[in-house]
Amino acid sequence: MSASIQDPGGRHHSADEVRGSSIGELMSQVTGDLSTLMRQEVELAKAEIRQEGKKAGKAAGFYGGAGFGGYMVALFVSIAVWQFLDNVMDSGLAALIVAVIWAVVAAVLYSKAKRNAEQIRGLKQTNDTVQRIPDALKPHPEGVTR
């Protein structure tokens, strides 16, 4: 019974074939096998990304639908409040009160969004280190500097 070695391409090589091969042939086989393995890994990654992308797209669609549903609720609640206030005061004033309430809500949300946006650091550290790379590659006769 002879030992057999299988490469990523599915080919079987006997121990005698491997022993009888030159270093160049073996290196060529290893290079070919690595190339095949890398192509297979890239294809697997592409397939996984496509699958996860479909899931993310579906989730985004559901979030969009929920957002639209929330918008419709806010719209009809606003109309109901307007109609309720219309029973107590002039219709134009009732509409203005509802609009002012929404303006206050929008202003509060804007200020919170702005505050959160200012806390985002972005890629500041990455940009700093990338800008220092050319200096790091230059020779320093006095030695390493910090």
- What pLDDT sits at residue 86? 92
* Residues 81 and 99 placed together within one structural domain of the fold: no
Q: How many domains does the chain have?
A: 2
What are the phi and psi torsion angles at 76 (to 5°)?
Answer: -75, -30
Q: Does residue 23 share a domain with residue 81?
A: yes
- Summarize the confidence of residues 43-55 as an average pLDDT: 86
Q: Name beta bridge partners: 4.
A: 14
pLDDT, residue 1, reads 46
State whether 106 and 45 are in the same domain.
Answer: no
Indicate if 33 and 102 belong to the same structural domain: no
103 shares its domain with 81: no
- 108 and 66 in a single domain? The answer is no
My answer on whether 27 and 94 are in the same domain is no
- What are 52-107's pLDDT values in tens digits? 888 889 999 999 999 999 999 999 999 999 999 999 999 999 999 999 999 999 99
* Average per-residue pLDDT for the chain: 81
The dihedral through the CA atoms of 95, 100, 102, 106 has a sign that is positive
Higher pLDDT, 39 or 21: 39
**Residue 122's pLDDT band (cuts 50, 70, 90):** low
pLDDT above 90 covers a percentage of the chain that reads: 36
Q: Are residues 84 and 104 in the same domain?
A: no
Do residues 94 and 82 both lie within one domain? no
Q: Do 49 and 84 lie in a common domain?
A: yes
Burial 96-114 (b: 16+ CB within 10 A, else e): eebeeeeeeeeeeeeeeee
**What count of Cα atoms within 13 Å lies in the side-chain half-sphere of residue 130?**
5
**pLDDT above 90 for 3:** no
Query: In terms of residue numbers, what domain contains 119?
Result: 90-146
